[in-house]
Amino acid sequence: MVNIPLIRKLALLPGEKIPEWVILELQGDLQTECEILAGQEIGTLHLAAGTSSPQKSSAYGGMDSSFRGEGKAIFLIGNYALTGEIVSLKKPLALLRKAKQAGPTGDFISILEVDAVVRKKILFRERPRHIIPSCALPKTT
Amino acid sequence: MASGSTSMHSVEELEPLLAASKINLPNLLPEVQCILFADDYASEDTMLMEVTEEMISQLENGATLSVRGTTEDSAVLCTESATFEVKLREVSNALLVSPDVKTAACLDSAAPRTVTEKHIQYTHGGFLELRPLVPRCARAKHLLEEAPFTGLEFEFETEIGKKFTLEELLETVQSSRQELRQYLATTINTCEIDGKIRLLPHSYVHKLTERVLGWAAANSLPWESIPDYEASSALLELEPESVMRDFFWPKFSEKIGDTLRLLPDAIARTYAAVYLSAGDKTRCDQFQDWWRKTVPSVLSVDFREELLYGLAYKTEKETPAAYIYLAVEDLPTEPDKRFRRLFQERKKWPRDELVAYLSGTLTGSDTVEKLLTKFTKTITMDGNAFLISLSLI
């Protein structure tokens, strides 16, 4: 039988909490033509301020009705806007990483380290909305 | 999606995009988080697993949990006191895991507008889910059957098989330490002898019982009141001390003040186990006759069928009626398999008799009532209530 010890992150000091990370949950998959993702930009994330009375209209016209109040988020990816909200997970998720550790006999044994814990996610459950390209072009100044 | 550029946006540059998306800008927190894949982005060798806050605090306090997998069964996660089945739950969404993305609560709404870089370290398409599981302790019994303890005089026989410590059993059995200890102490007859856990067969337990009763009679000691110290030490020369101290007295006697009172029902059941386990089927009239002649009359235990609950059951229609040997510890531990097996044995069960066969199959928030509701239905026949299988209806 395989028996793998699961422990907290080795680098943690005694009494130190396991770091808390966040998940961005996107509907479907991210598609890209890039072979190497490391270092690539995905988009920009905008969070709503805690509000009670959303202001009607501004320089940018009518406010998106789905985007009001604390906990809401907008993720702009290319010419798409994703509307989402911050959700507390019913059960936390532990991020496990395979690692090796010296065993009692000096051999290296496989272990699982809990690097982080996730208690919140930003869930983008609606379909991405296309932004009219002419308005979406970045300024060239 | 990704623009291919790693250069940071300016707030001004993002404004037309935000305008096009019809987001009310003054309503946003001033910090814009620009999300990039981390320079060392790589999702291999990592996974997400659903846990509980209790497990997190145990881990933070230095506890070690363990993931145990076999080729025959699904992997399990064991804490010190509980066992969980580990199942992969795939989701159709992409889970982007970030060490530094901030949620609203951590952002200052009065700060100047800025763009900060945040990173995605891993992407996952699912997570491991934990479901409470009845520990798979039956494997421990199979292992212990390799070298049962049948008395000191037989310990030097060459064909004796491998013996196991508790730690060695835990390496092979998919169970938490506490649940395995509980199983070894209550479900089957075992004792730790010279550091090894040993199975004590019914025949050996029967022999011990005879010896204790014989010794009590020879010393004119009533079975209701055996002096504790004397009882242990007198038998030490014959049996390992731990067998009496850790197994026999706790299981077959209760302590009243300084004395031990034997438990007649438990002892009678041991006698029945030896007799019934010798064959698959025993005629009821023969068994009851044997009971009268064999169970020590000094204990005066009149035969009652409930003494056999969880050990043997009576055939439904056969004439002459017979008892079928069916020990609860030999039944599957998963509730659905347990009920299927029980209803294969017998189509309808009196409630109490069925409940006796459910021990060791409860997990998490399950109760006997919940299991009975899920798997059985009550019917009445000739004025008597029985439980039948729901799946047969």
Residue B206 inside a domain? The answer is no
- Is residue A134 predicted with pLDDT exceeding 60? no
**Below-70 pLDDT ranges, chain B:** 1-8, 22-26, 104-109, 158-160, 231, 392-393
Which positions in chain A touch B3 (Cβ < 8 Å)? Answer: 41, 78
Transcribe B33-68 into DSSP letters: EEEEE-TT---TTEEEEE--HHHHHHHHTT--EEEE
Cβ–Cβ contact B3 with A under 8 A:
yes
pLDDT above 70 covers a percentage of chain B that reads 93
Q: How many whole angstroms separate alpha carbon B379 and alpha carbon B260?
A: 44
Q: How far is B162 from chain A (nearest CA, A)?
A: 17
The pLDDT assigned to B393 comes to: 53
Chain A residues with CB under 8 Å of B21 CB are 64, 74, 76, 81, 129, 131
Residue the block writes with tokens 């029980």: B342
CA distance A69 to B368: 47
Domain interval for residue B188:
138-200
Is pTM beyond 0.90? Reply is no
Do residues B162 and B57 both lie within one domain?
no
Rounded to the nearest 10 degrees, the angle between the axes of helix B335-345 and helix B368-375 is 60
B-facing residues of A in 69-108 (CB < 8 A) are 70-71, 73-78, 81, 86, 91-98
Enclosing H/E stretch for B167? helix B166-172
pLDDT at B66: 92
- In a shared domain, residues B146 and B111: no
Residue B162 lies in a domain: yes
Does residue B226 form part of some domain? no
Residues B43 and B106 in one domain: yes
Q: For residue A117, which residues of chain B lie inside 8 Å, CB to CB?
A: 51, 56
Q: Are B166 and B181 in contact (CB under 8 A)?
A: yes
Tokens 């300084």 belong to B258
What is the model's pLDDT at position B105? 61
Q: Report whether A5 contacts B66 (CB < 8 A).
A: yes
Q: What is the pLDDT of residue A59?
A: 36
Name the DSSP class of A75.
Answer: E
In terms of phi and psi (left: phi > 0; alpha: psi -120 to 50; beta: otherwise), the region of B361 is alpha
Q: Name the residue facing A1 among B18, B59, B172 (closest C-beta).
A: B172
Domain boundaries, chain A: 6-28+42-128
- Residue B215 backbone phi and psi in degrees, to 5: -65, -40
Run of H or E residues at B13: helix B11-20
Cα–Cα distance between B94 and B390 in angstroms, integer? 40
The CATH number assigned to the domain holding B387 equals: 3.90.1150
The reported pLDDT for the residue numbered A54 is 42
- Tokens 């009310």 sit on residue: B24
Assembly ipTM: 0.83
Q: Are residues B47 and B156 in the same domain?
A: no
Given pLDDT bands bounded at 50, 70 and 90, which one contains residue A112?
very high
DSSP B96-161: EEESS---GGGS-TTSPPEEEEEEE-EEEEEEEEEEE---BTHHHHHHHTTS----GGGTT-TT--
For the segment A15-60, what is each residue's pLDDT rounded down to a tens digit?
A: 789 999 999 999 877 777 777 888 888 888 988 876 444 444 343 3
Long-range contacts of A49-54 (CB under 8 A, 24+ apart): A49/B27, A49/B28, A49/B29, A49/B104, A49/B109, A50/B104, A50/B109, A51/B27, A54/B24, A54/B27
Nearest to B1 among A30, A47, A132 (CB): A30
CATH of the domain at B196: 1.10.10
Strand partners, B323: B282, B314
Residue B258 falls inside a structural domain: no
Same domain, B116 and B30: yes
Closest residue in A to B130 (Cα) is A91
pLDDT in tens, A55-92: 443 433 344 544 556 688 889 888 888 888 899 999 99
- What number of C-beta contacts closer than 8 Å exist between A and B? 283
- Name the DSSP class of B308: G
Same domain, B159 and B58: no
Residue labelled with tokens 């209806």: B393
